[in-house]
Structure 1
């Protein structure tokens, strides 16, 4: 019994294996696509301690709106789009303030629904009932 692959199939497999060994392109070359993100990082609440509200800053999205992403720096998949003027709660920020972790209610709902205006004992991932995500720094008016 002969176990040799046809030459065309062997070449295809060799090319596929070679492609797997190539380094991934830099993140800034990744196209924006719909669907599942490559990374996801829930927003943390209560990071300012048990004496302050779980998310202490209410801000408004600047004119033109903004995209909401699954994680700071993860721009391959948009999680939601927010219109200019929409109120969001800023709950955490990256060390360089390039990204803000935000919580926002579904369209047409009051942000008091989110349950983040009161203190919590220890910092934790936000679990709902509102939506959460990451926006780029500079896309909101802080404290507006």
Structure 2
């Protein structure tokens, strides 16, 4: 019995090492998307200056809900879906107001947890703790 255990122990210890030596999956395991590679542009906070909150406007998604995308103008991959009346903080807009950069909590989360009501010295990318993305203009009720 001792000889069987002595043989099995080194074999068991080698298993984790064998698992670590597996090659990474090939790059072609990525999701298939038609067209050019997907764009991603983080939402900027603090764009209204250091005297105002990082995201100056709180709004609600209009009836019918809206899709959240990775970048303004990018409509091939949906990052999240927001239901009607979901609160979002508008942090920036494209020059033509066709797209809004928004920050929003996870479902059931508290918007106050997103840490965007305080001012920031200079504009910067939003890095959490909440979710962020881009929605089409006209999909929110401003200041609601």
Short-chain TM bin? 0.7 to 0.9
CA deviation profile, 1:1-20 (whole Å, cap 9, x unmatched): xxxxxxxxxxxxxxxxxxxx
Please give the per-residue CA displacement for 1:17-60, whole angstroms capped at 9, x wherever unaligned: xxxxxxxxxxxxxxxx69xx610000000000000000000000
Q: Flag the structure with higher strand content.
A: 1
Q: TM-score w.r.t. structure 1 length?
A: 0.75
Is 2:126 the counterpart of 1:126? Answer: yes
Q: Considering only CA atoms, is the larger Rg found in Structure 1 or Structure 2?
A: 2
**Displacement, 1:124?**
0.1
Aligned to 2:5: none
Residue number in structure 2 paired with 1:39: 39
1:15 paired residue number: none
After superposition, give the CA deviation of every residue in 1:92-131 in whole Å (9 maximum; x if it has no partner). Answer: 0000000000000001110010000010111000000000
TM-score (norm 2): 0.75
Q: Structure 1, unaligned stretches of length 5 or more? A: 1-32
Correspondence list, 1:17-28, <5 A: none
Q: Distance in 2 between matches of 1:38 and 1:102?
A: 19
Unaligned runs of 5+ in 2: 1-32
1:82 aligns with 2:82: yes
Aligned equivalents of 1:107, 1:86: Cα separation in 2: 9
Residue aligned with 2:106, SS: coil
CA distance in 1, matches of 2:38, 2:54: 28
Count of residues in Structure 1 that have an aligned counterpart in Structure 2: 110
Match of 1:62 in 2: 62
**How far is 1:65 from its partner?**
0.0
Divergent runs of 4+, >6 A: none
Counterpart position of 1:96: 96
